[in-house]
Each structure stands twice: as structure tokens, then as C-alpha cells.
Amino acid sequence: MLEGIHPLLTGELLLHLDRMGHSDAVVIADAHFPAWAIGARVVDLPGTTTPEVVAAVRTVLPLDDAPALDLMASADGEVLDVQRELQAAARTDAPRFIDRFEYYEVAKAAYLVVRTGETRKYGNALLRKGVVGHPSAE
């Protein structure tokens, strides 16, 4: 156990986040997401929600310039409560909404997929890592 590290950030997850480079992506996925079919590296965090994990990851991961956050667009184009929560957890007001099947294609290039226990539909967030220690980093 380490002091000052969010308790959802396991050693395995921290290792992968540390190994990510500038503009590499991490997908924080809901329980419905085909994580193991898409991701070369997958960390399972059952019993968590995607907004909780996004908030935890943001404690150690600065965001890249736009697009910093991609969300999977709902079938009817409505912005869902879970998507508002993801946006707030990511601390950005400019998400890019991507069609479901295009989202899967973008996610295939992600460095890491973190599968949560989130059961709400469209509860997926793709974050791009910014430059650590950069003056504009949060």
C-alpha cells in the first residue's frame, strides 16, 4: 500500500499507466465492453463503476490536447447520466462522441483497457495521456 495513491489504482494498473507514452490511450470500459477481444492489455476491476475508475486514473494521468476524452455515443444520440458522470470525472468539458462500432476500432489502438463492473449502457471512456510535468498538465 502506498500513501497518496487512490485505492482503486492497483499496482498492475499503475504499472501500465506509467508505461503509457504521450497520446497513448486507456479505455475505461463497462462490463458489456468486449475488453478481452479488443485489448492486448486488460486490467479487471470488478465492483467498480467507470466514473469511479476515471476519477482515480485522473489523479495520476494528465490529459492530452484534444481529443482528450472519447465517449461512445448512445444509439439515439442522447447524452446519458453515466456519460455526464464520465465527463465530470475526467475533468474536461469537451468530450468527443463516437459511434459504437467506430469506438471499437479506436479502442483497438489503445495501450490499455480497464474493464469495470459498470452495468449502465454506454459507460465507456477513452482517455489520452498528456505530457507528465508539462506546465498545462493538471
Residues labelled as active-site residues: 22
Query: Phi/psi at 127 (nearest 5 deg)?
Result: -110, 140
Q: What amino acid occupies position 125? A: A
**Distance separating alpha carbons of residues 125 and 53, to the nearest angstrom:** 10
Query: Grid coordinates representing 72?
Result: 461512445
Task: Please work out, in degrees rounded to the nearest 5, the angle formed at the alpha carbon of residue 96 by the alpha carbons of 103 and 88.
Answer: 110
